[in-house]
Chain A
Amino acid sequence: MDFTFTEDQLLFQESVRDFLVNEVTPERIRRCWESGTGRDPELWGQLAELGLTGMTVPEAFGGLGMSEVDFVLLAQECGYVALPEPLVHTVLVAVPMLAELGGALAAEWLPKIASGEALVVVGLEENQLVEDAHVADLLLLQQGDSLFAASRDQVDLRYNESVDPSRKLYAVTVSSGATEVARAADAQALIARALNRGALGSAAQALGLAQRMVEISVQYTSERQQFGQAIGAFQAVKHHMANVAVRLEYAKAPVYRAAYELAVSGERSGRAVSHAKLVACEAANLAAKNCIQVHGAMGYTWEVDLHIFMKKAWALANTWGDAGFHKSRVADDIFADNAALGAGATFA
Chain B
Amino acid sequence: MKLSFSAEDEQFRAEVAGWLQDNLKGEFARLRYRGGPGDEHTYPEERKVWEQKLAEGGWTCVGWPKEYGGKGCSIEQQVIFFEEYARAGAPGRVGHIGEGLAGPTIIAFGTEAQKQKYLPGIVAGTELWCQGYSEPGAGSDLANVKTKARFDEVRGKWVLNGQKVWTSLAHESDYCFVIARTDPESVAHRGLGFFLVKMDQPGIEIRPIEQITGTSEFNEVFFDDAECDAGDIVGAPGDGWKVAMGLLGFERGVSTLGQQMQFQNELDDIVALARENGAADISDIRQRIARAHAELKIMRYNAMRMLSGHSVSDGSLQKEALIYKLFWASWHRSLGELAMDVMGPECEILEGAPYELSRLQAMYLFVRSDTIYGGTNQIQRNIIAERGLGMPKEPRPALK
Contact = CB atoms under 8 A, between A and B. Distances in A.
A11 interface: no
Interface string A219-262: 00110000001101111011101110110011111101100110
A2 interface: yes
Contacts of B388: 242, 245
Interface string B293-329: 1110111111011011100000000001001001100
- Classify chain B: how many residues form its interface, as a range: 35 or more
Given A245-B388, A331-B290, A347 B393 contact: no
A233 B395 contact: yes
A343 B261 contact: yes
B2 A330 contact: no
Give the secondary structure class of B's interface.
Answer: helix
Given A330-B290, A343-B86, A233 B393 contact: yes
Given A235-B381, A331-B286, A335-B286, A221 B1 contact: no
Contact of B84 (A4, A335, A343): A343
A344 B302 CA distance: 17
B3 A257 contact: yes
A346 interface: yes
- Classify chain A: how many residues form its interface, as a range: 35 or more
Interface in B360-400: 378, 380-382, 384-386, 388-395
Contacts of B309: 3-4
Given A1-B5, A229-B392, A241-B389, A342 B308 contact: no
A341 interface: yes
A69 interface: yes
B40 to A, nearest CB: 22
B264 interface: yes
Contact of A242 (B5, B302, B380): B380
Interface in B37-93: 75-76, 79, 83-84, 86-87
Contacts of B393: 233
A341 B293 CA distance: 8
A245 B298 contact: no
Given A232-B392, A234-B394, A342-B264, A1 B308 contact: yes
Interface of A: 1-5, 69, 214, 218, 221-222, 229-230, 232-235, 237-239, 241-243, 245-246, 249-254, 256-257, 260-261, 275, 278-279, 327, 330-331, 334-335, 341-344, 346-347
Given A1-B2, A1-B76, A250-B299, 18 more contacts: A2-B3, A4-B305, A221-B391, A233-B391, A235-B381, A238-B386, A239-B382, A242-B389, A245-B385, A245-B388, A246-B384, A253-B302, A275-B294, A341-B271, A342-B87, A343-B84, A344-B13, A346-B79
